[in-house]
Structure formats: C-alpha cells, structure tokens
A = this chain, B = another copy of it.
Amino acid sequence: MDRVKLSLNESFELANRCLLANGCNVDNAEAVAATILAAERDGCPSHGLFRLPGYVASLRSGKVDGNSSPRVERLAAGVVRVDAGGGYAPLALQIGRPALVEAAQVQGLAALALTNVHHFAALWIEVEALAREGLVAFAFTSYTPSVAPAGSGRPFFGTNPMAFAWPRRDASPMVFDQASAAMAKGEVMIAAREGHELPPGVGLDATGVSTTDPNAILDGGTMLPFGGYKGSSIALMVELLAGGLIGQAFSFEAGERDNKDGGPPRGGELLLAMDPEKFGDPSGWASHCELFFDRLEELDGARLPGSRRYRNREVTPHDGVWVPRSLHETIESLCST
C-alpha cells in the first residue's frame, strides 16, 4: 500500500490544523488531536488519523459542537458529572479529571458521568491517565447498534468497549481496553478498506449467516459479541452503565437519533476510579501486585495486556507514523474548506 511517513509532531499538527479549519476552537482541536496522536504513537491506526474524516463530517453537519464548553458538577460526594455540551469527549475528560481524581482520593472511590458527548477515540487513553494519577480506573461507553445479543441475529448493542487500568509504582500502568464485540469496529472497517478477510466468529451477514467478509458484516449484517453469551452480558452491562444509569442514550437510541454523517453519535460514558491507598493495604498493595505481574509474565506465552502498545510507544518517535496516501490526501483536502 502506498503510504506517507509523518513524524509524531506532524501527525498532531495535521489533525489539529484540520480540526481548526472545520470549526473547532483551540481547546477542542488540541484535545482531539492529542487523542489521535496517542493512538498513532501506540500503533493503533484504527483510532488515529483514520478517524479524522469522521470528526470533520460531524463538525460540518453541525451534529457536534467544536466550540463546546464542558461543565463540571458534583451530583453526590462520589459522583462527578461533566456535561460535554454536545462536544467531543477529549476536552470534557480533560476538564473533568481533576474533580474525579480528588473525589476518589477523598472517598476511596468515585465516578464520572460524561453526558451529551460524542466519543470517537479509544478508552485506554482516559483510564491510563487516571492510573498515572495512582488510581485504579474503569471506563465504559456504548455506540450505535452493530453487535447482536447472544442468540439473536440482529445488531442491538454497540461495540461497547470496557477499559481497565491498574497503577504500578515503577512501570507504566497495566491497561486493557476491549470491545464487547468479537473485534473492534475500527478493525472491521480497516479490513474492509484493505480487502482483508476476517477470522470466523466475528459476524453474521444480512441473512444471519456467519461470514468472514468485513463488507458483508458492515452492509446489513451484524457483528457478534466476544465469547458468546458472556461477552454479550458485558455488552449489556456497558449499555446500562453508559446509558441507563446516567440518563444517556442506549446504542439503539443513539442509532435512531444519529444523522449518519459518519462521525460519532451523541451518548454517554461512565468512568470509575478507586484509590488503592484506601482499600486496606496502603503499604503493601504495589509490591504485592508486582509479584503477581512477575509470576504471570514468567508463564510461557503469557503477556500483560497493553504491553504491545507500550513497545510501539517507544518505537514510533524514531520510526514515525505511516499513513495510507489516500487517507493523507483526504485529510489535506479537508483542511481547505
């Protein structure tokens, strides 16, 4: 494939310039560009510049407010809400994080309900940021229907990722971020774009038959949850936490209301944060967990979740970011409205 090489800084500047040219204010553009940079830096192209045309589409359609001013309120001692005001998630998360961290440190644990938000990035970014403040963190968000509940053949759940991060004393946090779908939708979209087949078990075609063709899944078919009915239960839990609990849209509602401009629908996200200093083993938990990680990594074939991203993070500053030329041209054309 014909590709263009960018430095990390160039990939940030490209995203930032494109967002500014399409109506984002400086704060929103920089926050979104930073999440795109983080994805490219960690070798996750499905959440990197690949998403920029979708961001731009939703600015141009007026669905997303690129000038949003997220508003922080306290709903209870342990519950912070950030109303993103119809903007993207990154700025709202950045503004809400200090209140969440402070509440978790005082109460032992706290929640952040992110409302009226358009989430189009990976969740590991926000849970890693919390773990770097010393907190255990969860994040949940839903999307629009693309995954069939176990036993059914029609999409109803979103890809519904759940992320979890664990702080470590002398190492980067242990982080996982996994879709409840058998495969992240971004990966299915990239397979379709690049003409790759998928492994079995990822989805059904429009007639409900299992398929390995990404286009058949995206065109009227459905993805499946990972791990059968257990992954389906996780997807259901994510709907309730990111939707029902905090008064935001379920995936089926987000799908019905969305203008289908290719950008992210409006929905909610729930974050939970816990301070391990407040759970009964303040002097011991960190080294105790290192012992656990050591034992796990001694097993042949086992590895800590997130370790591949951290390896990529060391390499990309030297190797740069490789962007498909067609995507790069699309983005450049979107910079001049």
Contact = CB atoms under 8 A, between A and B. Distances in A.
Q: How many copies does the complex hold?
A: 2
A79 B250 contact: no
B176 A288 contact: no
B78 A299 contact: no
B292 A250 contact: yes
Interface of chain A, main secondary structure = mixed
Nearest to A73: B280
A259 B217 CA distance: 51
A247 B301 CA distance: 28
A288 to B, nearest CB: 6
A300 B150 CA distance: 10
Given A79-B279, A108-B79, A151 B301 contact: yes
Select the residue from A75, A228, A236 with max chain B CB neighbours within 10 A: A236
A109 B285 contact: no
A229 B179 CA distance: 12
B244 A109 contact: no
A274 interface: yes
A120 interface: no
A164 B280 CA distance: 23
Interface in A92-113: 106-111, 113
A278 interface: yes
Interface of A: 75-79, 81, 106-111, 113, 115, 136, 148-154, 156, 164, 166, 174, 176, 178, 226-231, 233-234, 236-237, 239-241, 243-247, 250, 252, 272, 274-276, 278-281, 284-285, 288-289, 292, 295-296, 299-303, 305
